[in-house]
Amino acid sequence: MKTINAAPFALRPAIAALALVLGLGAGVPAHAEISDGVVRIGVLTDMSGAYSDLAGPGAVIAANMAAEDFVAKHKPAFKVEIVSADHQNKGDIASNKAREWFDRGQVDAVTELVSSTTALAVMKVAKEKNKIALITGAGSSRITNEDCNDVSVHWVYDTYATGNGTGRAVVKQGGKTWFFLTADYAFGQSLEKDTTAVIEASGGKVLGSVRHPFPSTDLSSYLLKAQASGAQVIGLANAGADTINSIKQASEFGITPKQTLAGLLMFITDINSLGLKATQGMYLTEAFYWDMNPETRAWSKRFFARHHKMPTMVQAGLYSAITHYLEAVKALNSDDTQKVMAQMKKTPINDFFAKNGKIRDDGLMLHDMFLMQVKKPSESHYPWDYYNVRATIPAAEAFQPLSQSRCPLIRK
């Protein structure tokens, strides 16, 4: 473990666990209100599996950038340590690592948690240990509904928001009949359910669905069932490598362009992998796009210099979440979980990721979402120039109303 001043550094190759300490130097005394004088944040992510491109090593880079920038700006009287591990998209591995970090590693908060299985598992451990969970990669709307708790924040997106934006847009464009290809775990099930509600409310109809194992490399039998349904739109209620494989194999089997694919959760890394020729015209809902404005471009170019890819909304949102957490700790001069959570909830989020963001009582961070349409190859003028922003979806419209919440913390 290395102690350094808040200067840029090169990220070491991704390994199962990684730690970096940032501070004002080795001689800094422990602050009276910060346990052991160090604020430790654990990044639990998928380092090599289906979601590693959209989260993974890039998420660790974003976390380290947040810690560096915080220390350089505020020069706190405590150190900041980032540790990371690969949860392999398995709930038991994620919960065991979180428990180890909380019990023996003096970790104060766990973040990222791509895949809803890992997020839901770690949330329970965080509640048991009275530690904070900042969820930036997982999507299931269960996180702030049935499984909500008072130590967790859902930061970037959820299946209600992505299904709401993309589903509504596709129905409006004439895609009235749908069939779902769904990843068979909490995330995929939530995405199908939330999008179905939007489709039906918009005048569309769902003809059926088929669920595939997560992760899957051969989706042929499932795609053929979707093709046989005769639906105008095949809704892809999956993500990452599963979505990429679905789109590639639908093209190989001649399913597209006869039937339209709707990527209900797609990332800029997916578009980069597939290319504009294969994805042009597709609608998707995002919380962040690197090329939105000068602020997003400035941060994203710094990220690109380290990762050699533009950031996904998961990676950008992780930076935002860690920064907000650290600023709350500094404001209080304490890493006490309940005090920090209260400070985070009462303080608006204003950064390159979110403007006038707010953490609701159910743990959902409210912010605007954006309806994107993938550009034609002829419309793209430089690397990673992939989206046309078709609409800004205000936070109040993008996310589930609090009145519909199923979170036990909310009193109706």
Which of the listed residues 366, 385, 407 is the one where a domain comes to its end?
Answer: 366
Rounded Cα distance, 249 and 160, in Å: 27
Could you tell me if residue 44 is inside a domain?
yes
In a domain, 279, yes or no: yes
Helix, coil or strand: residue 119:
helix
With respect to residue 408, please indicate whether it lies within any of the assigned structural domains: no
Any domain includes 145: yes
Nearest to 170 by CA among 159, 158, 181, 162: 162
Query: Same structural domain for residues 236 and 378?
Result: yes
- Kindly state whether residues 381 and 247 are assigned to the same domain: yes
Predicted pLDDT at 412 = 56
Is the same domain home to 245 and 149?
no
Looking at the fold, whether 250 and 120 belong to one and the same domain comes out as: no
Q: Is residue 11 part of a domain?
A: yes
378, two tokens: 């002829």
138 and 58 belong to one structural domain: yes
Convert the pLDDT of each residue in 378-396 to its tens digit: 999 999 999 999 999 999 9
Indicate if the pLDDT at residue 2 is higher than 80. Answer: no
What is the pTM (predicted TM-score) of this model?
Answer: 0.91
Q: Is 183 found in the same domain as 152? A: no
pLDDT tens per residue across span 267-294 = 999 999 999 999 999 999 999 999 999 9
Same-domain pairing of 21 and 139: yes
Looking at residue 31, its pLDDT comes to 44
**Domain that includes residue 53, residue range:** 3-157+291-366
Q: Is residue 116 part of a domain?
A: yes
Does 146 lie in the same domain as 25? yes
CA angle 209, 215, 220 (to 5 degrees): 55
Q: Is residue 256 part of a domain?
A: yes
112 and 258 housed in the same domain: no
Torsion of CA 310, 312, 313, 315, to 10 degrees: -90
CATH number of the domain at 48, please: 3.40.50.2300
198 and 346 co-located in one domain: no
pLDDT per residue over 317-370, tens digit each? 999 999 999 999 999 999 999 999 999 999 999 999 999 999 999 999 999 999
- State how far the Cα of 237 lies from the Cα of 192, in Å rounded to an integer: 6
Looking at the structure, tell me whether residues 249 and 308 fall in a common domain: no
| 278 within a domain of the structure (yes/no) | yes
Number of domains in the chain: 2
Give 232-258 pLDDT, tens digit per residue: 999 999 999 999 999 999 999 999 989
Q: Where are the beta strands (DSSP E) in 87-230?
A: 109-112, 132-135, 152-154, 177-183, 205-212
Same domain, 345 and 316: yes
